[in-house]
Structure 1
Amino acid sequence: MMVAGAKNAGGDADLPPPPPTIPSNLKPELLAPPKYSIMTRPCRTGTTGRGITLLANHFKVSVNNPDAVFYQYSVHMTYEDNNPVLPGMGIGRKLMDRLYHTYSMEFDGNKFAYDGEKSLYTFGPLPLHKLNYTVVLEESVSRPHETGSSSVTEKRMKLSIQSKTFNVEISYAAKIPLKPIALALKGADADDGQDALRVLDIVLRQQAANRGCLLVRQSFFQDDSRCITAVGGTGLSTVRGFHSSFRPTQGGLTLNMGTKFCCLFVISVVAYTCRHLSLFLLWLLADVSTTLILTPGPVIDFLKANQGVQHPRNIDWARAKRMLKNLRIKTRHHNMEFKITGLSQNPCREQYFPMKLRSDDGTTVEQTVDITVYEYFTKHRGIELTYSANFPCLDVGKPKRPNYVPLELCSLVSLQRYKKALSSKQRASIVGSSRQRPQERINSVTNAVRNYGYNDDPVLAACGISIEKQLTQIEGRVLEAPKLKVGNSSDCMPSDGRWNFNGKTFLNPKHIDKWIVVNFSLENCDTSRISRQLYDIGRKKGIRIEYPITLIEEQPQLKKQSPIERVKKMFEQIKVKHPTEPPNFILCVLPERKTSDIYGPWKKECLVDYGIVTQCISPPMKKNNRERELSEQYLTNVLLKINSKLGGINSLLATEHSGVVSLIKDTPTMILGMDVSHGPPGRSDIPSVAAVVGSLQWPLISQYRAAVRTQKVRKEMIDSLYKPLESGEDDGIMRELLKEFYKTSKCKPTQIIIFRDGVSESQFNQVLNEELDQIMKAYKHHQKVDELPKFTVIVAQKNHNTKLFQAGSPQYNVPPGTVVDTNIVHPRNYDFYMCAHKGSIGTSRPVHYHVLLDEIGFSANELQNLIHSLSYVYQRSTTAVSIVAPICYAHLAAAQVMQFMKFEDLSATSSSGRVSVTTSESIPVPELPRLHEKVRSSMFFC
């Protein structure tokens, strides 16, 4: 590479840019200050619980030059013809590195940090306000080369140099001082220090880029075979890397360093696919980022692994073409990289291309002949091909100028991100490979901080920043587990975050009569045996359960039909058996694969069209040709779900049972759990689903009702909490929940506690001033009053990078109930970390709770104990869950709806005649089918 012709334009770098102008079309009301601002931390922290000494993956940072100033410059890159260089082309860092190395004198020796796109940061100003450069990048490419001693020779390839010219304009944008960071650490508005922290994070990203790492937001992944783990049956791999970011805390500035696993498994995908608690808990114990990598190596090996075949002849080439497009490969015969544009139409032995034959001196083309790719490489290039003859070639050329290369000469280059959807088995495999025990995780991050030499980075050193190399020691507390009330007025004391119903009964068991069993499993599954076992275990748990009135087996010939058709045929059989009165409950036995395609259509038919409560189970496993008995624990877990769906209560908090929950017992209080689930990455046709659950039967806090709506793709803020119609009525989510609360509690709520999941810190103000505003409008509309209830708004974050370890026993996870509200928390805002659950595998991830508003006036002890208790009211399990139950229920409700909606046929889901929102003028968002009135108020999502 080389740089040529630097040209300078005059100007003083210390002159600020002109003040921004207010767009003329901006409405004046949008300029008004927000109604609510994020509350500050109360003076008193929590005191309950026993003390525990912990370690956190935060490394203390010293800023020895707090008066340092960064200068921000805008970078504009164009080709020689003035067409802009698009972000993501991968040449920005090459251009800037070459600029600096060649013209470091013009930078006055100032080191810089470049974000890879449009911003450059220097420590100290550049001498001029604007600089223009002409940059020439040179790279090796293949060019025709004619040689030979005969009268005509074939066209050959030779490495030659190709140059591309770019124009780079660097212009001053702003000053970014470090001083706001020091002020934020003292409790000032932290937003003022965000720009400086962003610059420091960019310095870390640049250092990782210089090491050749794959960058994914604030995470980086290195091409190290010791950190790469293959995912069986996919041709993909997970690669262990690290997340790094500077964070202001009560204890000072810290570097939050955590291990990350590069895999396609984000919270929206979990909510979309996961019906089983075990997989959801596995996700909570794994560090996950936003993509997988392709396993580097021969392309043919990748295709065989990805499609699960043993021999190339079994490869589905249409599927392979979709999979390979735009992937980067390196060729063995001349060690060059290309991007795959497609596959040849014919096999290598039959794929012809025109080859020019030239005279001895190479000046004239004597003739053009058609030759096969196989013949060219074997005869004219002298390369032996062992298996490519009968398979398509990779096309690495342009649409009108194909360039064919045999498969066996091509290998995938390393650290290529994979962004397509995965199967549930693949996701489970990824989660399993991403687990790290606490001690292993500690060793990983501490070794990284020591080995990456952050204190030697010239930009960090220039502003006096140094980073300690050991984990931060902090003090936490372990809250006592709440006592539970079960049947026969018995008490149940959880131990280590768990309890069971051995020798105990459910608190409020429902009578199960007029129920049937349907069997979609074509294995030899004895449904009568399953129903007898369920009957026996149900009686032990206090449930009056009768024998099923009908057992219906699917006809074997229906197996090849579509899932929707199979479900319809099953209901036809049910109607024949029960023509006048449908059953009250259906137990559905699905095929062994838990992610059965039948699940979605079956749930939709039951909950939307017929209003029948249903529970799906997988058939029993077989061992040595003998059917294994379903365990009592398995059947108890099934009965927990059934009883909850039918309106029963499995257990309550002892304080809840006696009506003495602090600050709730005397004041009608409604608890909301809110979440938005998004479709899989790359699916722009699947709208997001907003789910809100609201508590019922005050003063209870264990019973909930859900309301679900679709909204624009990838939209995080819920826009249907209040939805006024032209008729003057409200068709929003809150209307449903407020009506149900009044119906079950015989009063209106005068306090509302909101738990919001899935939003980032940059969206906190939107939660307060958009979503809360909708809730207030809905409350006024429904209650016909101007007086509003008191609100407490809490955001729960799982997708963060703070980990807690026991100082004395780092090989074990922190105990259930661990809470931290000092030292590593925000210096100004009201937040704390809580690990309510037991982490039996991997490393537990605490939930980061942010209190945005507290009009109710909880003390720190009251609020932390309430949140801890809400992790024990989850009706479908006998373990404390990591996050409050209302948020878990919101996840489940959204997941259930996404499962039974058929997004492939959008017209079918929007046939109700309702007005639909649109993501654009051409893409309508389908309205959800509303649940049948018989199940609308149930906990159908359990």
Structure 2
Amino acid sequence: MGGPPKRRAQAEKKSSGSSGDSSSASRDPTQRSTPKSIPRLDGNRDPLISGPHRVPTEYSKVTDLKNISEFLGLAGWYTARGDLYQFRNFDVDTNTWKITIPDSLPQRPAKFNSNGREISVTLNTFNVVQAPNTVVHQYDVAWGGDTDATKRVLIKKIWHSNAVKAALGEPTNLWVYDGNKLAWSGKRLDRDETRITVDLDEEQGRPQNGGRSGKGNKHTIFLKWTRQVDFNHLRAFLDGQASWSPDCIDTINFLDHVMREGPSQKYTQIKKSFFQRGEQRFDLGGGIEAFKGVFASLRPVLNEKFQKTLSVNVDVANGTFWRAQELTRAIGQVFNCGPPQFQQRFRDAKRDWKHSQLKKDLRRFKRVGVTAFHVKEKETQWTIDEFVGMDATEAMFPDPDDRRPGVPPTQLRQISVHKYFQTKYGLNCTSNLPVVKMTKKIRGGAVYLPMDWLKIDPNQRYNTKLSDVQTSAMIKFAVTLPKDRWAAVMHGVRLLNWDKDDYLSHYGLKIAPNATKVKARVLPSPSVQFGQGSRQATVDPKDLVQGRWRLDGRKFALPNNERPIKAWGVCVIQGRGAVAQPQVENFVENFVKIYESHGGQIMSHPKFGKKPWMGPGNLADGGELVAKAFNATGNRYQMRPSFMIFIVNDRNVDVYRRIKKSCDIRFGVASQVLQSKHVMGSSPQYISNVCMKVNAKLGGATCVAKSTTLPKIAPKSSSIPTMVVGADVSHPAPGAASGEAASFAAITVSADSLFARYWADVQTNGNRVEMVTTNNIDEHFGPMAKNWMQRVGKGLPPARVLYIRDGVSEGQYAAVLEEEVRDMKECFKKIGCKQEPKFTVVIAGKRHHIRFFPDQGDRNKNPLPGTLVETGCTHPFEFDFYLCSHVAIKGTARPIHYQCILNEGNWEAAELQQFIFEHSYQYIRSTTPVSLHPAVYYAHLAADRSRAHVNDTPVSSGKKEAKAEQRSSTGSSKNQVEIAPLQAISNVMGLKEVMWYV
């Protein structure tokens, strides 16, 4: 568990629980559940507990704790969501809940890694030198029925109103509010339950009722005292005298909000990042701009002095925002056209507006804040709801100047937006432009405003997926060298200005101005070996440290001896930029020569020698493009082709996926897609890189990392049959239609005892369901596990399984154990294993803000491959570490955060760290170590490639795969979305036995 000594984890932990349903105690832990919520205290009822046993606030779903999720650890989440993953019982005698945290959660090893050499590394973390010791009172916040609590701007406006400030004793008494359900104060109000009424019309000097029929603009806020924040629990936890408790979670939640309260009032806040309004903008095109801000996050850590304390992680934040400009200009930039062209698009789309592509594309403007400037002295702010299929002459609304007492708004005279603006303000509205419907209603009716007189407000986040061009520009903007990134971090620290933060000083929180400096290790590199006959079979140790070596003169460690190229073809896609026949022949000649120089096998045909079929391909043929090339190749050789090359003219992803879909699904043939510009250049280094991928797709492997360290620290390790499994679930990008799009689950399994090659299988995984479903594990992991037993294990199951999972947050760690690992163990039982393999589960995380700034690094001052950090930013008690195993080509290197959440296989810390690091050197398609363990990297590739296998044939009345089959306790999709399965890969040529996805 994530609390201190293991013996305490084994004991029942007594803590206050929710005012909830005790029937959850009988939940069968082997039964996959639908998303389940824990009743959250709302401040108005508490049927079970009262008096001295006041309950702390509970957290009903993952998003409730997003702001502090980075440091709860597995045990913290078990505590916060105890109702979901383990039994809870209510003890009537003590009037408390008993929560039992599993006793198998791995603890931080007693011994730190001593291999390699010690170096000094500065981290972008700043230790808390003084924690609050004042009394803090926590209040539940509720709103009256007339207030829409989902409108954050409205809630913020009410909270900061004069009426609320006066009632709460501001500014003498500084309150902290989370914008949702909780508020904190250093002073207790006179009454435990307080009601405050706010009239926003009166506050803002507007006429009473604000133009709204009879309702007014009055709001009621209810505050109810629930508890006193107990800092003693957090101190006891950090001192190793107590386990995680809801009190600890509440305390950290409070401290996190104290950290953010001051900056949020000065800067634009997006989650934990703050953006100063005066920062320099960087144009990304399409009406979008980027600028830098500062990220800050509080967490408990094991510091550089091996003390358990609090620390603040500060980093650069790169935000994308709508450019503040007139809406018509923004529309022109988004659609890359002038007003006449957009008007024509609108006229065409109006024929079927509901189903039009234009309506879909305009959804990206939903909830964008705009200002109407048709009245210069009285500009008003609105929020876009949608664009409607009417222009200003067609959109009608009740004329506000038609004031007849007793006549309902629906019976007033109707007037068009165009005529109203013309008669009321003397302004014209451009025809054939869609009017904009706003979220706010007036007198119960929709508000329509013309695009001409709206401008986008500044500093509004753009949260739709960037285009390829915008992404490329964003990378150029975001990527900075360590020196520049460190300067930006310190600039952020100055912006946060902790010493002058009124809230920090009011509550007694003090943060060190100097960054943490830790003793790290650079782990010893493995011996990277190539095949016999290489000019230099082993990579020079200096090249290993530098993180880059050359392939020329070296033969593949595992060539394609079992799958030599016999019948193969080269299809050249015709069109602008297509490669001429002589250039194709030159490339093929060089490819054959270089592939064979690396040990690759190409069989010589009696008639054609080693020259493939070469012919044109026409995109107008659609799916038949591949069929024609495949058949022509087969006819030439009078046998089924074993390998196909396609030369395309650009990076069009649709063309790429169409080719891959036919090759993988229809013909089951290994294929390689090349760009014409690279084929024309015919660079030997480029061809060598292509050869690595081709060799893998034909059953080979580039190199093998042989350990010189593991035999010393874990001498029995090599004799233990071990399977490595990787998994990743990729979700649709945010934006239009993502609520109906598929998520893809990819699982990889090591295919040999060297861990050089991996099988992979993919399948849809519902809509935004994070856990790999039971069905997917049964149908895809099961067959690969059986393959492993037959081909690697010699009929026996592995003694241990190392499962490396990517892409899950801390709140989902428990679900990985309770769902995915459980299902994998069931698979082994189903294939007849009498003894269950011992599972060790490691989560690999990339989405964090920890960076290393070594005193001595590479030429860019980035850390060298193998830089390991175990203190300063790691969890106080749980088994985690940060490892930088690669060399950053551009910018600042991002280490991977590995957290071990299950260790049945009893891996020693040094063994696990060295194993993961060394495998990064045998990534099959590069001559560098990679940042992430290859098992997970390959899962990424397979998940991305699976998008080419989507069954996009229109579904009629046939049976679909129901969402019920995709259930997971951590699925976040709100709708019952039906997701069709992928089309199956054809295995007629054994494509699934090789690395088809690289």
Q: State whether TM-score is above 0.5.
A: yes
1:126–1:571 CA distance, 2 compared to 1 (3 A) = farther
What residue in structure 1 maps to residue 594 of structure 2? 537
Once residues 522 and 958 of structure 2 are traced to their aligned partners in structure 1, the CA distance between those partners, rounded to angstroms, is 48
Equivalent AA in structure 2 for residue 261 of structure 1: N
Once residues 908 and 745 of structure 1 are traced to their aligned partners in structure 2, the CA distance between those partners, rounded to angstroms, is 45
Of 682, 689, 695 in structure 2, the residue corresponding to residue 643 of structure 1 is 695
- 1:231/1:237 contact within 8 Å kept: yes
Query: What residue ranges of structure 2 are gaps of 5+ in the alignment?
Result: 1-43, 61-82, 89-98, 304-308, 350-357, 404-411, 605-609, 968-972
Q: Which of 449-458 and 814-823 deviates more?
A: 449-458
Q: Which of 857-866 and 821-830 deviates more?
A: 857-866
Counterparts of 1:897-916 in structure 2, within 5 Å, are 897-902=946-951, 905=954, 916=965
Of 158, 164, 167 in structure 2, the residue corresponding to residue 95 of structure 1 is 158
Q: 1:771-818: CA deviations, max 9, x gaps?
A: 222222222332331x33333221111111111112367962222221
1:857–1:401 CA distance, 2 compared to 1 (3 A) = closer
What residue in structure 1 maps to residue 528 of structure 2? 484
1:653–1:628 CA distance, 2 compared to 1 (3 A) = same
1:414–1:744 CA distance, 2 compared to 1 (3 A) = same
What residue in structure 1 maps to residue 302 of structure 2? 250
- 1:721/1:771 contact within 8 Å kept: no
Of 533, 538, 557 in structure 2, the residue corresponding to residue 507 of structure 1 is 557
- 2:165/2:171 contact within 8 Å kept: no
Asked if 1:876 is matched to 2:925, the reply is yes
Q: Which of 773-782 and 863-872 deviates more?
A: 773-782
What residue in structure 2 maps to residue 584 of structure 1? 642
What residue in structure 2 maps to residue 209 of structure 1? 264
What residue in structure 2 maps to residue 364 of structure 1? none
Asked if 1:753 is matched to 2:753, the reply is no
Equivalent AA in structure 2 for residue 214 of structure 1: Q
Once residues 274 and 292 of structure 2 are traced to their aligned partners in structure 1, the CA distance between those partners, rounded to angstroms, is 9
Once residues 476 and 959 of structure 2 are traced to their aligned partners in structure 1, the CA distance between those partners, rounded to angstroms, is 39
Asked if 1:221 is matched to 2:275, the reply is yes
Equivalent AA in structure 2 for residue 870 of structure 1: H
1:569 offset after TM fit, Å? 5.8
What residue in structure 1 maps to residue 572 of structure 2? 519
- 2:373/2:453 contact within 8 Å kept: yes
What residue in structure 2 maps to residue 596 of structure 1? 653
Among all aligned residue pairs of Structure 1 and Structure 2, give the percentage whose two residues are the same amino acid: 25
Of 113, 122, 128 in structure 2, the residue corresponding to residue 61 of structure 1 is 128
Once residues 29 and 225 of structure 1 are traced to their aligned partners in structure 2, the CA distance between those partners, rounded to angstroms, is 48
Once residues 626 and 680 of structure 2 are traced to their aligned partners in structure 1, the CA distance between those partners, rounded to angstroms, is 27
Once residues 827 and 433 of structure 2 are traced to their aligned partners in structure 1, the CA distance between those partners, rounded to angstroms, is 63
Secondary structure at the counterpart of residue 665 of structure 1: helix
Asked if 1:733 is matched to 2:781, the reply is yes
What's the TM-score once normalised by structure 1's chain length? 0.82
Asked if 1:183 is matched to 2:227, the reply is no
Q: 1:815-850: CA deviations, max 9, x gaps?
A: 222111123322111111111111121111111111
- Alpha-carbon RMSD: 4.1
What residue in structure 2 maps to residue 329 of structure 1? 370
1:904–1:604 CA distance, 2 compared to 1 (3 A) = same
Q: Which of 812-821 and 418-427 deviates more?
A: 418-427
Equivalent AA in structure 1 for residue 273 of structure 2: S
Once residues 836 and 356 of structure 1 are traced to their aligned partners in structure 2, the CA distance between those partners, rounded to angstroms, is 67
Once residues 108 and 398 of structure 1 are traced to their aligned partners in structure 2, the CA distance between those partners, rounded to angstroms, is 34
Secondary structure at the counterpart of residue 251 of structure 2: helix
1:371 offset after TM fit, Å? 8.4
1:438 offset after TM fit, Å? 1.6
1:619 offset after TM fit, Å? 1.5
1:166 offset after TM fit, Å? 0.8
1:97–1:141 CA distance, 2 compared to 1 (3 A) = closer
1:916–1:519 CA distance, 2 compared to 1 (3 A) = farther
1:18 offset after TM fit, Å? 6.5
1:735 offset after TM fit, Å? 4.1
What residue in structure 2 maps to residue 129 of structure 1? 192
1:133–1:541 CA distance, 2 compared to 1 (3 A) = same
Asked if 1:48 is matched to 2:112, the reply is no
1:382 offset after TM fit, Å? 5.3
Asked if 1:497 is matched to 2:541, the reply is no
Counterparts of 1:381-420 in structure 2, within 5 Å, are 381=425, 388=430, 391=433, 393-394=435-436, 396=438, 405-420=449-464
Secondary structure at the counterpart of residue 931 of structure 1: coil
Of 668, 671, 674 in structure 2, the residue corresponding to residue 617 of structure 1 is 674
Equivalent AA in structure 2 for residue 534 of structure 1: F
Once residues 901 and 819 of structure 1 are traced to their aligned partners in structure 2, the CA distance between those partners, rounded to angstroms, is 40
Once residues 257 and 868 of structure 1 are traced to their aligned partners in structure 2, the CA distance between those partners, rounded to angstroms, is 27
Equivalent AA in structure 2 for residue 501 of structure 1: L
What residue in structure 2 maps to residue 17 of structure 1? 54
Once residues 397 and 192 of structure 2 are traced to their aligned partners in structure 1, the CA distance between those partners, rounded to angstroms, is 54
What residue in structure 2 maps to residue 441 of structure 1? 485
1:491 offset after TM fit, Å? 0.9
What residue in structure 1 maps to residue 888 of structure 2? 839
Once residues 351 and 799 of structure 1 are traced to their aligned partners in structure 2, the CA distance between those partners, rounded to angstroms, is 46
Secondary structure at the counterpart of residue 686 of structure 1: coil
Once residues 387 and 961 of structure 2 are traced to their aligned partners in structure 1, the CA distance between those partners, rounded to angstroms, is 44
More strand by share: 1
Asked if 1:935 is matched to 2:991, the reply is yes
Asked if 1:863 is matched to 2:920, the reply is no
1:676–1:394 CA distance, 2 compared to 1 (3 A) = closer
Once residues 744 and 590 of structure 1 are traced to their aligned partners in structure 2, the CA distance between those partners, rounded to angstroms, is 38
Secondary structure at the counterpart of residue 337 of structure 1: strand
Q: 1:401-422: CA deviations, max 9, x gaps?
A: 5655554432111222333333
Equivalent AA in structure 2 for residue 799 of structure 1: R
1:351 offset after TM fit, Å? 7.8
Q: 1:754-781: CA deviations, max 9, x gaps?
A: 1111122222233233322222222233
1:328–1:123 CA distance, 2 compared to 1 (3 A) = same
Once residues 520 and 913 of structure 2 are traced to their aligned partners in structure 1, the CA distance between those partners, rounded to angstroms, is 13
What residue in structure 2 maps to residue 267 of structure 1? none
Counterparts of 1:713-728 in structure 2, within 5 Å, are 713-720=767-774
1:52–1:444 CA distance, 2 compared to 1 (3 A) = same
- 1:62/1:467 contact within 8 Å kept: yes
Counterparts of 1:40-439 in structure 2, within 5 Å, are 40-66=107-133, 68-78=134-144, 82-98=145-161, 102-104=165-167, 110-138=173-201, 164-187=217-240, 188-190=242-244, 193-216=248-271, 218-226=272-280, 228-232=281-285, 234-251=286-303, 252-262=309-319, 292-309=320-337, 313-314=341-342, 316-317=345-346, 318=349, 319=358, 321-334=362-375, 335-342=379-386, 381=425, 388=430, 391=433, 393-394=435-436, 396=438, 405-439=449-483
What residue in structure 2 maps to residue 269 of structure 1? none
1:254 offset after TM fit, Å? 0.8
Secondary structure at the counterpart of residue 620 of structure 1: helix
Once residues 85 and 768 of structure 2 are traced to their aligned partners in structure 1, the CA distance between those partners, rounded to angstroms, is 28
1:670 offset after TM fit, Å? 0.8
Q: 1:23-75: CA deviations, max 9, x gaps?
A: 9xx99985484655421111110111222211111011122544x45332211
Q: Which of 318-327 and 686-695 deviates more?
A: 318-327
Once residues 253 and 664 of structure 2 are traced to their aligned partners in structure 1, the CA distance between those partners, rounded to angstroms, is 48
Query: What residue ranges of structure 1 are gaps of 5+ in the alignment?
Result: 1-7, 145-156, 263-291, 360-367, 622-626, 724-729
- 1:514/1:549 contact within 8 Å kept: yes
Secondary structure at the counterpart of residue 156 of structure 2: helix
Equivalent AA in structure 1 for residue 552 of structure 2: N
- 1:805/1:813 contact within 8 Å kept: yes
Asked if 1:923 is matched to 2:971, the reply is no
1:519 offset after TM fit, Å? 2.5
Once residues 914 and 408 of structure 1 are traced to their aligned partners in structure 2, the CA distance between those partners, rounded to angstroms, is 44
1:642–1:325 CA distance, 2 compared to 1 (3 A) = same
Once residues 161 and 210 of structure 1 are traced to their aligned partners in structure 2, the CA distance between those partners, rounded to angstroms, is 34
1:141–1:214 CA distance, 2 compared to 1 (3 A) = farther
